[in-house]
Structure 1
């Protein structure tokens, strides 16, 4: 309990940038506030503040510790009030990571409705195609597209996205429209890999009850979904991507679906979160909302 109380005092000092003001706001002697912070620094094994006669400032370690303390204190407050406040909105910060296209096209445009219902929530959204380390980087949950590795994390399946083959009209005018798998020997593929220098997978197709890949020539390799789509629009080759993200481009005749009978494996979409027994209510509420929004998008 002393450590919990020390964390509360530390957060107050950090927010007011003053031991004196923190002591006044808490109704404690300044010496007591200083003692609690010193004990906390001894417990965590690092200096949390730079102290001068005129100024109190968080160290780099102190800043990181302050962010975690705020989350922990909010979790305790939320847990203590989970029955008392069940009919009220949630509050606190939520850190989430998701692919760039999903963030830009699906989630962020719908966020005003979530924040209207939960005005005391603060969201930190990371948008990247890189596989972040959920635990090490401090995310509450992440949205992942594609097959998941066995990581010891909890996966909440949302659905699957149908993958189609596409090329731009100018590309097809130059190279012709392939009608069967064998025709691809005379075509170019836009190669995609998460890490440049890695080996691209090739063109995927289903045959004899399983998914296979065929090597194809290509003049460009990219490591982001934005660049992947842009390369296709520029006539640099064929891509295989989720149909839902290409629908508007096909409708506007900027891209054209090809080889509709040759299918690649659908891409599963999941929300992944740490194996925590007491998941903060704010995270659960956000994940439920996220589940509905993404399902609506991929099933549209």
Structure 2
């Protein structure tokens, strides 16, 4: 027996003072209403209603049960209404983890815009090059670069990062500009340490349509994008990073791209979050906003 349905039917019969009227308002056959009340009384082991040809009244047990049913159904309605209001107003907290560069360059400058559009959504932003685990770290969604492994998460493409090789004018004036990928062996580089593995990332190039992967030795290595960029600006060696990160320094002349004919394939940028059944309205709103603001910046 569906107890919630039985309570609803019982309350409606009492309020309408008629099986027929209750059946009409519930869009149910009268026979179904009658059967539900009989089954409910049998389940409870006591009569709830006194019936006659003209009147319908509650027994003492029925009166007590009616009051309890009203309270329960009212509480359910309140809970559903509160949730509907929450969804309509898009309120709640969203915890996000993203690469520091994307957070500082794209997201943080647009937070006032987000607040104006979604005043009841609180954001907790984690900016780090170290990948976060949604479940272990209590994160609602993450922005990640690179190819994604299969998972139960929803992945939405935000754009791509074009990787380039560059150096400062100071470095190039001292060591010259490499004319080919093979010439890199005679140059100094700065390596980037992957937080996931603790090892330097390989350097990748595209030469005559083929991907060339090189493991470079270096005197300096760091594990954070801003620090890596600073090493390049200081002339400590060649660096390989996204054009998005290097763009303002290329524009100002503080960095110069080299090996322009050997750029590696772009790296995708995606946002990952639980499937629709587990994603809150606030999270979906944030994802939509992120897709909107990152598209132009990550399509360069």
Q: Please give the TM-score of this superposition, normalised by the length of structure 1.
A: 0.69
Return the offset for 1:216: 2.5
| CA RMSD, Structure 1 to Structure 2 (Å) | 2.2
Matches for 1:120-269 after TM superposition, within 5 Å: 120-195=120-195, 198-207=198-207, 209-269=209-269
Partner of 2:97: 97
Return the offset for 1:208: 6.1
- Equivalent-residue separation in structure 2 for 1:299 and 1:102 (angstroms): 13
Return the offset for 1:202: 3.1
Note closer, same or farther for the CA distance 1:270–1:78 as it changes in structure 2 (3 Å cut).
farther
Q: Please give the TM-score of this superposition, normalised by the length of structure 2.
A: 0.69
Matches for 1:5-154 after TM superposition, within 5 Å: 80-81=83-84, 88-154=88-154
Q: Structure 1 stretches of 5 or more lacking a match? A: 1-75
Runs of 4+ in structure 1 off by over 4 angstroms are: 76-79
Which digits, 9 at most, give the CA deviation of each residue in 1:19-66, with x for residues without a partner? xxxxxxxxxxxxxxxxxxxxxxxxxxxxxxxxxxxxxxxxxxxxxxxx
Note closer, same or farther for the CA distance 1:275–1:85 as it changes in structure 2 (3 Å cut).
closer
- Equivalent-residue separation in structure 2 for 1:78 and 1:239 (angstroms): 56
Note closer, same or farther for the CA distance 1:77–1:129 as it changes in structure 2 (3 Å cut).
farther
Q: Are residue 292 (structure 1) and residue 292 (structure 2) matched? A: yes
Return the offset for 1:210: 4.1
Partner of 2:60: none
- Equivalent-residue separation in structure 2 for 1:281 and 1:137 (angstroms): 21
Q: Structure 2 stretches of 5 or more lacking a match? A: 1-78
- Equivalent-residue separation in structure 2 for 1:167 and 1:77 (angstroms): 59
Note closer, same or farther for the CA distance 1:220–1:196 as it changes in structure 2 (3 Å cut).
farther
State whether residues 196 and 222 of structure 1, in contact with CA within 8 Å, keep that contact through their aligned partners in structure 2.
no
State whether residues 162 and 242 of structure 1, in contact with CA within 8 Å, keep that contact through their aligned partners in structure 2.
yes
Partner of 1:48: none
Which digits, 9 at most, give the CA deviation of each residue in 1:216-240, with x for residues without a partner? 3311111111111111111111111
Note closer, same or farther for the CA distance 1:77–1:271 as it changes in structure 2 (3 Å cut).
farther
- Equivalent-residue separation in structure 1 for 2:193 and 2:220 (angstroms): 11
Structure showing greater radius of gyration is 2
Which digits, 9 at most, give the CA deviation of each residue in 1:221-272, with x for residues without a partner? 1111111111111111111111122111011111001110011121110001
Note closer, same or farther for the CA distance 1:79–1:139 as it changes in structure 2 (3 Å cut).
farther
State whether residues 130 and 196 of structure 2, in contact with CA within 8 Å, keep that contact through their aligned partners in structure 1.
no
State whether residues 167 and 232 of structure 1, in contact with CA within 8 Å, keep that contact through their aligned partners in structure 2.
yes
Note closer, same or farther for the CA distance 1:96–1:163 as it changes in structure 2 (3 Å cut).
same
Note closer, same or farther for the CA distance 1:278–1:195 as it changes in structure 2 (3 Å cut).
closer
State whether residues 189 and 237 of structure 1, in contact with CA within 8 Å, keep that contact through their aligned partners in structure 2.
yes
State whether residues 95 and 125 of structure 1, in contact with CA within 8 Å, keep that contact through their aligned partners in structure 2.
yes
Which digits, 9 at most, give the CA deviation of each residue in 1:50-107, with x for residues without a partner? xxxxxxxxxxxxxxxxxxxxxxxxxx769941xx777x54111110010111111110
Partner of 2:7: none
